[in-house]
Structure 1
Amino acid sequence: MSRWSFAARLLAVAATALLLMMAWQTFPLIQAEILGLRAKPREITARGDLAADEKSTIALFESRSGSVVFITTVQQSVNAWTGDAQQERSGTGSGFVWDDLGHVVTNYHVIEGATEALVSLTDGRSFRAALVGANPENDLAVLLIGVGTDRPKPLPIGTSADLKVGQKVFAIGNPFGLSSTLTTGIVSALNRNLQVTQERTLNGLIQTDAAINPGNSGGPLLDSAGRLIGVNTAIYSPSGASAGIGFAVPVDKVNRIVPRLIASGRYVSPSLGIRTDPKANEALSARLNMSGVFVLDVEPDSAAEKAGLIPARLTRDGGFALGDVLLAIDGQVVDSPDDMTRALETKTPGDRVVLRVRRAGKTIEVRVTLDVAR
């Protein structure tokens, strides 16, 4: 076979292969075009009824979301070049309708430092809000809006004292400015303490894994009956977004503080007037194998001083003499300063309480009229 004949055959084989490849690639397109003339939407498969828990979640959201509001705050600043005052949006958060008078509850940190707050309802209406009162120690604040007619319903109030770990919970709020967002989860833990600033620790919080993100602050945490059981206030997250660890101020505390903020603009905590220290208390408890709250000092002219409580003291030889050890307040056992704070939070200045105290190896009862925290 000559060299030219071999080349001609090789070219023929290559051409045939190319035609086959083009046909292979083109055939599906031709087939699709032919079939496309007869193509129709596929039949929908019947879904069946929604599951019972889906129905209840939908009903909860539809009945409660209208009571949750979107809060936008504004701060006033001065233009460094012109000296003119100007207002700038400073943040967003959530809140919820407390009563028929137009009071709205939110977190203190949502409105902290703001010169103005705008409250938006789910129906599109917006209102400038007036600050009624604030309680930074528990991260709560109350605003007032002039809703007029067609007011959104207040959320029904539940209880937090009987919450159980594992209960379902639902959070409604405005994470990252996305209004009317529902997330679900469970109660992950109870009575958590969270240090939010150098000076401030929030006590007795509900921990939940319901997704809570920036913008959810101030929104409600609900139980499966749609009752308010907490106010979403903080998250633990290295990234700044939800990591499955959120915290809410329990409703029992909210229901004590909010009415006082509405009535007088401030919440005054009750006080015994004793000085304690968590680390010293823990060390003494371990060293002496003794539970309770060690009274390290008594404030002058305080409820504790008037009741005759005895503080610890240094002896002449440089030793340490133990004073009174607080064991219970009105029957509620206190093993730490945090326990004492939680027990006192259920009281009001002027309340008369019975303290169980260990003094010089004996257990006695002391009656004290609670004072105003200083």
Structure 2
Amino acid sequence: MTDRSEFEQRPRAGPLALAAGTAVGLLLSTGLLPEALPIPALGPLPVHAEAPVATPTAATASSSSATIALPPPTRDVPLQRNVDPMTMQLPELPEASPDLTAEELRAIRIFARNTPSVVNITNIRQVPVQNGYMSFDMERIPAGFGSGFVWDDQGHVVTNYHVIKGAAEVKVTLLDQSTFSARVVGGDSDKDVAVLQLVGVPPDKLRQLQPVTLGSSAALLVGQRVFAIGNPLGLEHTLTSGIVSGLNRELSTGTVTIKGLVQTDAAINPGNSGGILLDSVGRVIGINTAIADPTGKGASSGVGFALPIDSVKGLVDQILTYGRVLRPVLGITLAPPQILKQLGQPGVLVLEVPKGSPAEKAGLKPTTRDRFSGSLVLGDIITGLDGRPVKNYSDLVGILDEKRVGDTVKVDILRSQTDNLFASGAARKMTVTITLGERGQVNVTE
């Protein structure tokens, strides 16, 4: 798995890559860069990048034996933007057209309706640049690009946390190519969600912003049609389509596991991170976040992952209200899982119970050493939470993620009645009630 914290010009190698990434450095050596596409100051051409296919001009046609057969125009009035570049507007189309199928019309309308809501995000970092012998200046350079989308009419933009991580400055470019600075309101690195606030936007421009229409990820079914909009490889406002390929997938980065992800075969590439995944009605059902990348080249493999919008809603609401995500905790530090694995006991072992924590108030016992023999005396082992089994750390975190700070939960535990629980086989099953605290208020693991 590729570390989500990495957000660089060039996609990292690894079995799973984040969908945030480079702009169009790959176009520079091909001579195929459209004139309207800005050229960011980025590094060298990735050796694995493939040149995109472009319409040949007279100049390129004369210098190459390869030709591209272009279909003849099928309609007199092409789809185009409205006079106001902040809003895309479809030309009047008949209900039935010999040139467009019903499925094509639906995709066109979904793209036109949602494109104004999708923005391009630039992560600008400070880097030291040598200025003479033993002297360095700090310069700001674009470190990476990603996508985001307008959340409300107050100028809030939602994206992935890894898109803006480590940024000294964040720039947001709207559909009409106007660019504004953005302040990071808050974010959650574990869940990979961040909220930005546009700064310095004129009131008339703010009124023109078009928030997305939120759907629900709860009732998604494998096989239903989905659409992705983002800025892959710096190609602004690109639409791809596919289906829901799987549900409740897990994404692990070694230390953190994100559960409940939506898997899709809609093409997702570096730069798509923070973009939207839409249902066939045009409602947002997820945030495009990562791709499976067995080749290590950072390209779409047909296996992409999106954060489900239902979990994103709660995180964004907390960030807008408190400036951070309130993560509920029991108030304990957990022991390494190898201890219980060696003993064949499912659950999680309590290593420490800090003073003043919710767990201490509920009477949970930590792991200690016998003062005379020096042998390890196991603390309480959590085996269930609110009637649901807890077999490992992932189970515990998954259940806690559904709770809120201040909720009261019933915790099932095994408690040793002797110095050595497993030598004697004596254990007492208990249930204790704990009022969840907030992570950060107590120095705990969970």
TM-score (structure 2 length as normaliser): 0.65
Tell whether the 8 Å contact from 1:273 to 1:298 is kept in structure 2 after alignment: no
Matched with 1:372 is 438
Range that drifts further, 305-314 or 87-96: 305-314
The correspondence for 1:162, drawn from 188, 204, 219, is: 219
Contact persistence 1:313–1:323 (CA under 8 A): no
Q: Whole-Å Cα distance in 1 between the matches of residues 108 and 377 of structure 2?
A: 62
Q: Which moved more, 1:173-182 or 1:146-155?
A: 146-155
Q: What runs of 5+ residues in structure 2 fail to find an aligned partner? A: 1-70, 76-95, 416-425
Identity of aligned residues (%): 44
Q: Is the CA contact 2:335–2:349 (under 8 Å) kept in the aligned structure 1?
A: no
Structure 2 residue corresponding to 1:266, chosen from 324, 344, 349? 324
Task: Give, in angstroms, the shift of residue 203 of structure 1.
Answer: 3.5
Asked if 2 retains the 8 angstrom alpha-carbon contact of 1:206 and 1:249, the reply is: yes
8 Å CA contact 1:328, 1:357 repeated in 2: no
The match for 2:297 is 239
The equivalent of 1:50 in structure 2 is: 100
Residue 184 of structure 2 corresponds to residue 153 of structure 1? no
The aligned counterpart of 1:300 is: 354
Alignment match of 1:114 (pick from 140, 143, 167):
167
**CA distances 1:314-348 after superposition (whole Å, capped 9, x unpaired):** 7869587684332233x444443212212211222
C-alpha distance in 2, partners of 1:160/1:351? 24
**Contact 1:281 1:294 survives alignment (8 Å):** no
Judge conservation of contact 1:312–1:324 (CA < 8 Å) in 2. Answer: no
1:162 Cα offset (Å): 3.1
Give the residue type in structure 2 aligned to 1:184: S
Name the residue aligned to 2:33: none
Q: Is the 8 A contact 1:135 1:266 kept in 2?
A: yes
Deviation readout 1:37-96 (Å, 9 max, x if unpaired): xxxx99979972633333222222111111111112222334312544432221111000
Q: Which amino acid aligns with 2:226?
A: V
Contact 2:340 2:349 in 1 (8 A): no
Q: Secondary structure at the match of 1:338?
A: helix
Pick from 56, 81, 84: which aligns with 2:131? Answer: 81
Q: Which runs of 5+ in 1 are unaligned?
A: 1-40
Alignment partners' CA distance in 1, 2:435 and 2:366: 18
Cα pair 1:234 1:246 within 8 Å, conserved = yes
Q: Indicate the structure whose relative CO is greater, using CA pairs within 8 Å and at least 6 residues apart.
A: 2
> What number of residue pairs does the alignment pair up?
328
Aligned to 2:266: 210
- Confirm or deny: 8 A CA contact 1:324 1:357 kept in the other structure: yes
| Structure possessing the higher radius of gyration over alpha carbons | 1
Question: In the alignment, what sits opposite 2:312?
Answer: 254
Deviation at 1:173, TM superposition (A): 0.2
Question: SS where residue 203 of structure 2 aligns?
Answer: coil
Matches within 5 A, 1:20-31: none
Pairwise CA distance, 1:212:
0.9
Kindly indicate which of the two structures has a greater share of residues assigned to helix. Answer: 1
- How many angstroms does 1:310 deviate by? 4.2
Specify the SS of the correspondent of 2:130. coil
- Distance of 2:322 and 2:285 partners within structure 1: 24
Aligned positions of 1:180-219 closer than 5 A: 180-196=237-253, 199-219=255-275
1:144 to 2:197 alignment: yes
CA distance in 1, matches of 2:112, 2:140: 35
Return closer, same or farther for 1:239/1:279 CA change in 2, 3 Å cut-off: farther
Aligned mates of 1:280, 1:353 — CA distance in 2: 26
Aligned partners of 1:47 and 1:110: how far apart in 2?
A: 41
Q: Secondary structure at the match of 1:124?
A: coil
Across the aligned residues of Structure 1 and Structure 2, the Cα RMSD in angstroms comes to 3.2
Q: Which of 226, 229, 234 lines up with 1:177 in the alignment? A: 234
The C-alpha deviation readout for 1:75-134, integer Å capped at 9, x for no partner, is: 233431254443222111100001110000111111122222221111332222122112
Contact preservation (8 Å) 1:309, 1:324: no
Aligned to 1:15: none
Q: 1:281 to 1:246 in 2, by over 3 A?
A: farther
Distance 2:72 2:224 in 1: 42
Distance change in 2, residues 1:167/1:68 (3 Å) = same
C-alpha distance in 2 between matches for 1:177 and 1:98: 22
Distance change in 2, residues 1:364/1:184 (3 Å): farther
Name the SS for the 1:59 alignment partner: helix
